[in-house]
Amino acid sequence: MSDEAAPWLIVGLGNPGPEYAGNRHNIGFMVADLLAERIGGKFKAHKARAQVVEGRIGPPGPANRRVVLAKPMTYMNLSGGPVTALRDFYKVPLERIVAVHDELDIDYPTLRLKLGGGDNGHNGLKSMTKSMGPDYHRVRCGIGRPPGRMQVADFVLKDFSSTERKELDWFVDRAADSVECLISEGLERAQSAYNS
């Protein structure tokens, strides 16, 4: 399969299970769920220990792209295994992999898109980079820093606050838009439209 024919692999990072569903750490899952809804697909179990939906994103014509949406089911810090298995199964070049994740160093609700880079202590990214190297796209969804002396781990595994929830649907919607823009129009266009 030529790289042109290869699908994009969009990975929403999060933890499986209802007790984590509303956590800040699960914004990647929320964005993946919304994208699946937009393409009219339902997540199904894949042997790579992930749930996947296949479909197309973008306007009709040459900007219409084949995509595989994925939610690893291994817990955040082991995300690299399922993502690597999906990359191999679908023959996806590294630069067509997009990780959608929460980011502590960016204020809520701010988006930043980039290609490559470090993991900033994010266990999901750390695991992906260890498995595949760092040169994949990231859609970084800012969640801000924990207040006061709260530990980072406690903060990311808490649900969004009631104040944050007022903007959450808008934020998830905007993040999903940015993924679609990245795939159909490229990184620079998506950065200029969505990086704030």
Helix (H) or strand (E) holding 165: helix 162-185
Q: Cα(55)–Cα(115) distance, rounded to whole angstroms?
A: 23
The CB density around residue 94, as the number of other CB atoms within 10 Å, is: 15
Cα Dmax for the chain: 52
- Which residue among the candidates 25, 46, 101, 122 is catalytic per the annotation? 25
- Six-digit token string for 170: 């808008």
- Give me the helix-helix angle, 187-194 and 162-185, nearest 10°: 150
Q: HSE, CB side, 13 Å, CA atoms: give it for residue 66.
A: 8
- Is position 25 annotated as part of the catalytic site? yes
* Strands lying side by side in the sheet with 97-103: 44-46, 50-57, 65-72, 8-12, 97-103, 137-142, 111-115
Which residue has tokens 């838009």? 177
* Catalytic residue list: 25
